[in-house]
Amino acid sequence: MASFIRFIAAIACLLAGGVVGALNPQSIVLDLGFATLRTSLGLGVLVALLLGVLVGGLLVAAAVVAPLRQRLRRTEAARAPTTEPGS
């Protein structure tokens, strides 16, 4: 059931991206300082949104998930039995 919901969510996101791209065909120029990119407004918005999601996810992983995993490892190591094998 979860895979079906993921599939439906993926299709909905693809359709939304297609609609945004189709409704914003204006040409834009992005000057990055070291390069100049020409693209459509819809594609520029979608790429900016995707980059924002990726950077936000990486920041959450670095600031929240990694310290929690380290804390969990320390807690599990403290709870582990300290008996030697063969005793």
Contacts of residue 46, Cβ cutoff 8 Å, sequence gap at least 6: 17, 20, 21
Average pLDDT (70-74) is: 91
SS3 35: coil
pLDDT of 59 > 80? The answer is yes
Mean per-residue pLDDT over the chain, rounded:
88
Strands (E), the chain: 27-31, 36-40
pLDDT digits (tens, 9 = 90+) for 13-38: 889 988 988 899 899 998 889 999 99
What one-character DSSP code corresponds to residue 87? -
